[in-house]
Structure 1
Amino acid sequence: MPRKPRSKSPTGYFHITLRGNGGQLLFDDAEDRIAMLQILDAILPKHNIELIAWCLMGNHIHLLIDDPDDRKSDAMHAVAVSYAGRYNARTGHIGHVFQERFWDSPIKSEVYLLEAIRYIHLNPQKAGLARFENKG
């Protein structure tokens, strides 16, 4: 059965999620997290994609990107392959690191853009990993 085509975004913004295969942890330590950020920093600009917001959870990541040229599929494939190769070499893991294709949701309005940024940044608190205090 063929895959459904990716959705288009009238704004160029997308909320992206990548999950560890079978819920496996993607990051063993800060070194892994830094490596993912370096991979994103190296690959996304090559595809004219700007990273707006991000959150690296233990077994998944959230990204909010600006993708005006609709190149997210190639970019996320390159990110996943690059990180999986590094992860497998470092840990001795064999096989898929990421579960299926990345999930994406087109951001269709400024209100949804702000909601997605808030959701991404508050994800660690929602999971009980961090506390957020609104002092404003």
Structure 2
Amino acid sequence: MNGKCRAFSLRTGRFSQCGQIYTVTTVTEGRIAHFEDLGLGRLLVKEMRAVEQAGRLSSLAWVVMPDHLHWLFELRSGSLGDVVGRVKARSGYAINTRLALQGPLWQKGYYDRALRKEEDLRQAARYIIANPLRAGLVQRVADYPLWDAVWL
């Protein structure tokens, strides 16, 4: 491990480790569907890409749903809490600024799951990007504008 990459103990039962692949789900405060507005969804995606460009993670797949985010990535540096917290804080600021609002955009916390190396990452990515289909938002994944996966 390099100096930027060390293991972190988060809350009870949660452990953050560089090189680990995680799925993360986080939900907007009050489940408000802010991301029905494509422009607001793109502000979130901009912050997700910023943490990737900063070398904090390697994004594998994600989908921005109207009121939540599903994200599959490999942690590269820092802690899981720092990365998710940065995306939530910066996207919250950007979206609140755009909407002239105050207060939290995101619910506190997030759900995460560490994937084992032997798990099928493509299957996990397919599950994530198929969320708009299961929610009845589109007939085909290609019709939904806020998703990406490295296998395409």
The partner residue of 1:111 within 119, 125, 133 is 119
The partner residue of 1:98 within 95, 98, 106 is 106
Regions of 4+ moved over 3 Å: 7-11
Alignment of 1:72-83 (within 5 A): 72-83=80-91
The partner residue of 2:130 within 110, 122, 126 is 122
How many positions carry a matched residue from both structures?
132
Q: Which one-letter code corresponds to 2:43 in the other structure?
A: A
Task: Give 1:58 shift.
Answer: 0.1
Mean Cα deviation higher: 28-37 or 110-119? 110-119
The partner residue of 2:71 within 43, 47, 63 is 63
- Give the structure-2-normalised TM-score: 0.75
Mean Cα deviation higher: 111-120 or 122-131? 111-120
Change (3 A) 1:16 1:104: same
Work out whether 1:24 is the aligned partner of 2:55.
no
Question: Any idea what SS the aligned residue of 1:64 has?
Answer: strand
Work out whether 1:45 is the aligned partner of 2:38.
no
Distance in 2 between residues matched to 1:65 and 1:85, nearest whole Å:
23
Task: Give 1:75 shift.
Answer: 1.3
1:34 alignment partner in structure 2: 42
* The structure with more helix, counted as a fraction of residues: 1
Task: Give 1:93 shift.
Answer: 2.4
Question: Any idea what SS the aligned residue of 1:51 has?
Answer: strand
Distance in 2 between residues matched to 1:41 and 1:11, nearest whole Å:
18
Distance in 1 between residues matched to 2:54 and 2:92, nearest whole Å:
19
Distance in 2 between residues matched to 1:79 and 1:11, nearest whole Å:
19
Change (3 A) 1:9 1:72: closer
Q: Retained in 2: the 8 A contact 1:51–1:64?
A: yes
2:147 alignment partner in structure 1: none
Gaps in structure 1 of 5+ consecutive residues: none
RMSD: 2.4
Q: Which structure would you say has the larger RCO, counting Cα contacts within 8 Å and 6 or more residues apart?
A: 1
* The structure with more strand, counted as a fraction of residues: 2
Overall identity of the aligned pairs, in %: 23
- Give the structure-1-normalised TM-score: 0.83
Mean Cα deviation higher: 61-70 or 14-23? 61-70
Distance in 1 between residues matched to 2:100 and 2:36, nearest whole Å:
13
